[in-house]
Amino acid sequence: MANRKKMTGAQMVCESLLREGVEVMFGYPGGAILPFYQTLPQYPKLRHILVRHEQGAGHAADGYSRATGRVGVAVATSGPGATNLTTALATAQMDSSPMIAITGQVPRSAIGKDAFQETDVTGVSMPVTKHNYLVMETRDIPRIMKEAFYIARTGRPGPVLIDIPKDVQQEEAEFEYPDGVDLPGFRPVLDGHPAQIKKAAGLIDEAQRPLIIAGHGVIISRAYAELLDLAEKTGIPVITTLLGISGFPGDHPLHMGMPGMHGLAWNNLAIDEADVIVAIGMRFDDRVTGKVSTFAPRAKIVHIDIDPAEIGKNVKAHVPIVGDVKRVLTQLNQHVTARHDHPDRKEWRRRVDKMKKEHPSLRIRDAKGLLPQYVCSALSEVTHGDSIIVTGVGQHQMWAAQHYVFRDQGTFISSGGLGTMGFEIPAAMGAQVGRPDKTVWSVAGDGGFQMTLPELGTIAQEKIPVKFAILNNSFLGMVRQWQEIFYQRQYVATPLFSPDFMKLAEAYGMMGLRVKDKAGVGPAIHQAMKHDGPVIVEFVVVEEESVYPMIPPGLSVNEMIEEPEKMVAMQDSKEASS
Ligand SMILES: Cc1ncc(C[n+]2csc(CCOP(=O)(O)OP(=O)(O)O)c2C)c(N)n1
């Protein structure tokens, strides 16, 4: 066969990466992965970015993948290198992000002997990957690489780990890249069942108070046009889950924003009144549903998801449809009746608009100091809602989700399922590498920023022009908020010392800007945007600000706290009754 060539395992990995269209990978070398690294100079088309910690490599690959829709690649050595990747793998797994992790392993003869830097990484990563491989024969590398990429990106995407012993990388065998895969046990259903589609269309047509809840699946499947089509044709308001944000234009009249624990009040109230909910590529996370038994009590639910295991997992679906969101919506759009102007729909939209007016969840009150909500809203205005926003986890994440109006699609990147602090720096770096055409803003907390800040070194070395907005409240803010509400303001282990972020910027050769008042916010964002390198903007914000609305965990919509006064009343009544 003409295609066949003898090469080492390491060369085979590189050759396979090229065949899969990989241009860049994020990694960190070490003994067990050295044969691979020493082969890289033979493949100048494969760009390697040296991170400062393997967790950073994983999040960067994840951020790259979310921003581009392509498969991100992370590389690490055996033992500690590979275990450092696990948080990033779990993050990608929870959020269905396609990723390939390549790890070195001790030589085959040393496996199971507690060799230096040996860890059973396939065992360790099993629960946090979609699939994983330990490669025991060099000749298997092309097949495994082909399968791994296929599995990572097909059906419900996810991370796949390939662990390759050092001697397998060194040994030679014949390389022939397969055209396809043969995985009889893995055949995701892509098209929706026609009878179910018709049933769903019938339910949607008859509904008087319908809602769409769009999740990450819309973005993963790049089904923006199809979702827009469905919403406009039927006149149904669109709620987006945290990871569904930017799946529907934020300035569209049918756009409603986020539901759930910190969702905008009208969304939770509308869900409570809805008679039909079309749940698209979302998994009824507990942060969305709150107390499941009181979630959407009046609604029949159409649940569209690529993963059959999601259907009925948390919330009963009246019409389940398994399939790829883009394909199912294309089918559904052919069957639903155009009802945008129907009196029922107009009445329902009037009702929803009234709720919006009565519950001004996005109102930013006057305050003495700088409010973080104001910063997020200004960021949205100055960037015209057109930047890629990568957040950490905590209050700043919620404020960014609430106040930034995403006009472009697939531009909100955040760790939703796992809620991984430390995601904000490396994922933003990966997103910027994948999308050099866009401005990438990392909206960070002072806590999360300090978890992975060594990656500033990577960013400086590679001249990656990410802009960082640190909302510095001198606390682990979201935990402080819980202590305030549920533990009578006992602030244990949440007040936080930070380094001088301006000196840190200087140390890494970056532009640093510190803002302490409202007047400085706009100009600083403008200045950061104009600078063609990385910038750290520290916003010194009010320390004890909380995220509202909030439905305390396990409670229902009726127990939503919409503003601080109500929270104080709730605490008083709790204290009185305790
Ligand atoms: C790795 C990790 N550890 C702990 C937590 C728990 N946690 C959730 S939010 C939060 C505080 C975040 O603080 P910061 O990054 O400063 O953001 P803020 O809430 O102040 O905006 C913590 C500790 C987490 N989500 N991830």
Q: What is the pLDDT of residues 181-238, one digit of tens each?
A: 999 999 999 999 999 999 999 999 999 999 999 999 999 999 999 999 999 999 999 9
d(CA 319, CA 304): 8
Pocket flag, ligand 1, residue 416 (CB < 6 Å): no
Pocket flag, ligand 1, residue 445 (CB < 6 Å): yes
Give the pLDDT confidence score for residue 578 in this predicted structure.
41
Count CB neighbours of 5 within 10 A. 12
Side-chain-side CA neighbours of residue 191 (13 Å):
4
Query: What's the whole-model pTM score?
Result: 0.97
Instruction: Name the residue at shortest CA distance from atom 5 of ligand 1.
Output: 421
Cα 546 to ligand 1 centroid, rounded to whole Å: 14
Greatest CA separation found in the chain? 82
Cβ contacts of 167 within 8 Å, gap of 6 or more: 107, 108, 109
Q: How far is CA 574 from the centre of its chain?
A: 36
In 264-323, where does DSSP find H-type helix? 265-273, 286-289
Q: What is the CA radius of gyration of the chain?
A: 25
pLDDT in single tens digits along all 578 residues of the chain: 445 789 999 999 999 999 999 999 999 999 999 999 999 999 999 999 999 999 999 999 999 999 999 999 999 999 999 999 999 999 999 999 999 999 999 999 999 999 999 999 999 999 999 999 999 999 999 999 999 999 999 999 999 999 999 999 999 999 999 999 999 999 999 999 999 999 999 999 999 999 999 999 999 999 999 999 999 999 999 999 999 999 999 999 999 999 999 999 999 999 999 999 999 999 999 999 999 999 999 999 999 999 999 999 999 999 999 999 999 999 999 999 999 999 999 999 999 999 999 998 999 988 899 999 999 999 999 999 999 999 999 999 999 999 999 999 999 999 999 999 999 999 999 999 999 999 999 999 999 999 999 999 999 999 999 999 999 999 999 999 999 999 999 999 999 999 999 999 999 999 999 999 999 999 999 999 999 999 999 999 999 999 999 999 888 888 899 887 766 666 655 554 44
pLDDT digits (tens, 9 = 90+) for 15-32: 999 999 999 999 999 999
Reply yes or no on whether 478 is catalytic. yes
- Residues 125-144: b if buried by 16+ CB within 10 A, e if exposed: beebbbbbbbbeebbbbbbb
Strand-pair category, 5-8 with 172-175: antiparallel
Q: Which of 117, 461, 527, 571 is catalytic?
A: 117
400-to-391, 395, 436, 469 alpha-carbon distances in Å: 8, 9, 22, 11
Residue 338, amino acid: A
84-to-118, 284, 427, 467 alpha-carbon distances in Å: 13, 30, 15, 26
Pocket flag, ligand 1, residue 420 (CB < 6 Å): yes
Pocket flag, ligand 1, residue 372 (CB < 6 Å): no
Structure tokens at 216: 């990450």
Cα 448 to ligand 1 centroid, rounded to whole Å: 6
Structure tokens at 420: 């991984």
Pocket flag, ligand 1, residue 391 (CB < 6 Å): no
3-state DSSP assignment of residue 220: helix
DSSP 490-541: ---S-B-----HHHHHHHTT-EEEEE-SHHHHHHHHHHHHHSSS-EEEEEE-
Cα 479 to ligand 1 centroid, rounded to whole Å: 7
d(CA 402, CA 409): 16
How much of the chain exceeds pLDDT 70, in percent? Answer: 97
pLDDT digits (tens, 9 = 90+) for 235-279: 999 999 999 999 999 999 999 999 999 999 999 999 999 999 999
Reply yes or no on whether 54 is catalytic. yes
Residue 57, amino acid: A
Pocket flag, ligand 1, residue 262 (CB < 6 Å): no
Determine whether 510 is exposed, middle or buried from the number of CB atoms within 10 Å of its CB (0-12, 13-18, 19+): buried
Reply yes or no on whether 116 is catalytic. yes
- Residues 362-383: b if buried by 16+ CB within 10 A, e if exposed: eeeeeeeebbbbbbbbbbbebb
- Residues 50-66: b if buried by 16+ CB within 10 A, e if exposed: ebbbbbbbbbbbbbbbb
Cβ contacts of 39 within 8 Å, gap of 6 or more: 8, 10, 11, 13, 14
Q: How far is CA 46 from the centre of its chain?
A: 26
